[in-house]
A and B are shown apart, each in its own frame.
Chain A
Amino acid sequence: MAMNPGSKPVLQHSTATAGGMAEAHPAPPSGLLRWLLTTNHKEIGSLYLIFSLVMFFIGGIFAMVVRAELFQPGLQLVQPEFFNQMTTMHGLIMVFAAVMPAFTGLANWMIPLQIGAPDMALPRLNNFSFWLLPVAFTLLLSTLFMPGGGPNFGWTFYAPLSTTYGPPSTTFFILSLHIAGISSILGAINIIATILNMRAPGMRMMDMPLFVWTWLITSFLLIAVMPVLAGVITMMLMDINFGTSFFDAAGGGDPVLFQHLFWFFGHPEVYIMILPAFGIVSAIIPTFARKRLFGYASMVYATAAIAILSFLVWAHHMFVVGLPLVAELFFMYCTMLIAVPTGVKVFNWITTLFRGSISFEPPMLFALAFVVLFTIGGFSGLMLAIAPADFQYHDTYFVVAHFHYVLVPGAVFAIMAGVYYWLPKWTGHYPNERLAQWHFWLSVVGVNLTFFPMHFAGLAGMPRRIPDYALQFADFNLVSSLGAFLFGASQLLFVAVVVLCVRGGRRAPAQAWDYAEDLEWSVPSPAPLHTFDTPPTFERPAH
């Protein structure tokens, strides 16, 4: 191996291997067919990201309907039946169609670049994973127009609310979720195979950027729990259509069994939505603090620890369902244990910032907001983990505040940070700094106005998923609704920044951010359609 005296890892490749070998690939079909038939990880990554952005706005409109109805006490705009469909569809679309595909899109774009691979390991399967998503979510959204309306039982679709009492369209909801699940499993298999098998020669596991590491572990979680979701919705389908009694005590089954199975999937699922965010933030903070990431190895181990613990905490969503005492204690303590590896991560980010030469470009702003606001969500999670206290908070707006803090200024902010960070690599242009700053500050104000008052409303006893509320909650809800409208409208700025950046802007060099270390910055900006046709060699920094 050649000497690498510098402090950064280096990919040895000629320009030809990084880009120019276009003649080795047949010309892609033109027009729409190109996107329909593509096997290219960058194009598929873009498809995922565009799809996710569209769904983010559809799910966002549903949220706006919810907040508009809750603007004042009493029923103003929509019927309770429709309100229930809006809360349900908002959750389903945001979780399965916005956040998860956004991370998969980032994985598609960046993992091959970060490990020096020519593409994903199984490129056709990759395209199949993507195109299943529009099919799945067109079907899901179409349930809103079916007789009896769409899903109205909350995104957790507890039986018997979703089986005995669900609308007729529930069967279509189940089938669409099956399609989305197949997409996730195949996508995750592809990502694992890529990471384990496609690294540039010389790159060991512990040389991988943290985004790659977090996605490796996320893929494992996906493959482990999406089939369990498939199993539980299949049992729902049987209960609804074939007279089985899985979730019906009259036949010897148990509605609580549904909750156990759902949350065995559901809790790892929430880490599926946050671990890649950790990876993105772990790339951005060192770049803009101009310091090496503090505690790389401990970040890897902490991510793995969180993933393992995620299988042992599911019943903390079920403290009030009537679990045996020993189960309440077990799940309470396991849940609290998660604070340890998560704390390791937060302290590592803070220590990376300590005495750094920090600058506040848009990706860094979002990453810093992530650290602060995600930690708030983490702390309210700790409060919810205390079983006797949860008896009070359960199903109140406190829970809504908690999971929105980890998902919106958590997962969504990390996605936006990642987009701003990697846009120069994708388009060859820097995003418009001024507009991006506006987007950030309006978002950060909007998000806190929306979700912070929910803590108080929840602690004061306001139940979630109800279209009306008692008068004493009026002020909190008014603030939340105004904040939500502000946050929603600010996202139009995000679209503007992205569109402008695709069309033009200040040119970005290959090394778009001076201190960025990872290997994607060694290929030209914008990254050529095909990179690394012959494997580059990886050289570890000498220290």
Chain B
Amino acid sequence: MSGSYYVPASSKWPALGSLAVGVMMIGSGMLLVHGSGGPVMAIGLAAVLAVMALWFRDVVRESRHGLYDSQMDRSFRWGMGWFIFSEVMFFAAFFGTLFYVRTFAVPWLGGEGEKGLAALLWPEFTAHWPLLNPPGEGITGPREVLSPWQLPLVNTLILVASSITLTVAHEALKEGYRHTCRNWLAGTVLLGLCFILIQGVEYYEAYAHYGITLDAGIYGATFFILTGFHGLHVIIGTVILAVMLMRVHRGHFSEESHFGFEAAAWYWHFVDVVWVGLFLFVYVF
């Protein structure tokens, strides 16, 4: 224990970041409630991204100047680990919603079990999943649902493959094969981009041909909130990996110390695992 734990001097990024988050949220609220405020939201979002970039730039610089010791490294590890746990719980809320609706809410509406009262609301309603016939008038359900064995399967293979290519890149970095690392990492970013593209095509298909929309009852709602937040995480993960690619290219990271890379990899594997859960419970079963 050398006793050189790095306590940064005062920094403007946290306060500016808070301000940027506030502007972004006020803009979003104005956009949603009053239909205006898009520019405010865009400025806020741009400011949030700028602050993040500058803040991380400071961290990278401090790290490259050797200000961080092994204890600092452990702080980052704990921090990233618990952050991913918080993300797990965020997705747990949506998976919990899906399971609750499928196991309880929809069958109860159909008259199953002790919750007979719910069945009195819409006596003609028959429950089954996927819910194509929402009970209320004026809510049109999806015409049909997506087959898991077409685009979703392709995307599953892409994401699982990307976890493998990322692991190869990581092993290469640990062995000092920087070119190999760079190539496999570039491949991982490419796979991430493919996933996003295919997910975009699938959304188009869902809206244009299948009638799976946000307002198509609970099937559309759970479908889009789960795949939507997952897709957002893939986009974020791809950006993070692209930054790591740039850093590898510029000669950052050593064979022993490269937690920035590892944290990105943890995040990517987490996003991958969430997708496997999605593939199974949103598409297959």
Binding site for B on A (CB under 8 A): 25-26, 28-29, 33-34, 36-40, 117-119, 121-125, 127-128, 131-132, 134-135, 138-139, 168-169, 171-172, 175-176, 178-179, 182, 185, 188-190, 192-194, 196-198, 201, 223-228, 230-232, 234-235, 237-238, 240-246, 248-254, 256-257, 260-261, 264, 322, 324-325, 530, 533-535
Contact = CB atoms under 8 A, between A and B. Distances in A.
Contacts of B25: 135, 139, 175-176, 178-179
B208 interface: no
Given A124-B11, A242-B214, A257 B100 contact: yes
Interface in B126-176: 131, 134-139
B218 interface: yes
Given A227-B89, A322-B115, A243 B13 contact: no
B14 A124 contact: yes
B257 interface: no
Given A244-B221, A325-B114, A37 B12 contact: yes
Given A189-B82, A197-B74, A251 B218 contact: yes
Given A118-B5, A168-B33, 11 more contacts: A36-B12, A123-B8, A128-B13, A135-B25, A171-B32, A185-B86, A193-B79, A224-B85, A225-B89, A231-B94, A243-B214
Given A169-B33, A172-B33, A250-B136, A235 B14 contact: no
Interface of B: 1, 3, 5, 7-15, 17-19, 21-22, 25-26, 28-29, 32-33, 55, 71, 74-75, 78-79, 82-83, 85-94, 96-97, 100-101, 104-106, 108-109, 113-115, 117-118, 121, 131, 134-139, 214-215, 217-222, 224-225
Contact of A39 (B8, B19, B114): B8
A192 B10 CA distance: 22
A127 B15 contact: yes
B15 A251 contact: no
Contact of B3 (A230, A231, A253, A534): A534
Contacts of B32: 171, 237, 240-241
A134 B85 CA distance: 26
Contacts of B114: 324-325
Q: Which of B9, B113, B117 has the most CB of A within 10 A?
A: B9
Contacts of B79: 121-122, 125, 189-190, 193
B9 A228 contact: no
Contacts of B8: 39, 123-124
Given A123-B7, A197-B74, A324-B113, A227 B215 contact: no
A135 B9 contact: no
A230 B92 CA distance: 11
B212 to A, nearest CB: 12
Contacts of A134: 18
A193 B71 CA distance: 11
27 contacts: A37-B12, A39-B10, A40-B7, A124-B55, A135-B22, A172-B33, A175-B26, A175-B28, A175-B29, A185-B83, A189-B83, A198-B5, A227-B92, A228-B93, A231-B92, A237-B32, A238-B221, A243-B214, A244-B221, A246-B97, A248-B136, A252-B217, A252-B219, A254-B104, A264-B93, A322-B115, A324-B115
A223 B83 CA distance: 8
A61 B143 CA distance: 54
Nearest to B95: A231
A201 B121 contact: no
B10 A121 contact: no
**Chain B's interface: helix, strand, loop or mixed, by majority?**
helix
A231 B17 CA distance: 22
A250 B100 CA distance: 16
Contacts of B93: 227-228, 230-232, 235, 261, 264
B7 A39 contact: yes
Top 3 nearest A-B pairs (CB, nearest first) are A250-B136, A231-B93, A243-B215
Contacts, number: 235
A235 B98 CA distance: 12
A179 B220 CA distance: 27
Contacts of B28: 175
A423 B71 CA distance: 31
Given A25-B9, A227-B90, A197 B105 contact: no
Contact of A252 (B21, B94, B218, B225): B218
Q: Which of B89, B104, B219 has the most CB of A within 10 A?
A: B89
Contact of A226 (B74, B86, B94, B117): B86
B82 A223 contact: yes
B7 A251 contact: no
A264 B74 CA distance: 31
A179 B21 contact: yes
Contacts of A172: 26, 29, 33
B68 to A, nearest CB: 12
Contact of B75 (A29, A176, A197, A223): A197
Contacts of B115: 322, 324
A244 B225 contact: yes
A527 to B, nearest CB: 15
A28 B10 contact: yes
B135 A250 contact: yes
B19 A244 contact: no
A234 B225 contact: yes
B135 A252 contact: yes
A398 to B, nearest CB: 27
Contacts of A238: 214, 221, 225
A171 B82 contact: no
Nearest to B218: A252
B283 to A, nearest CB: 18
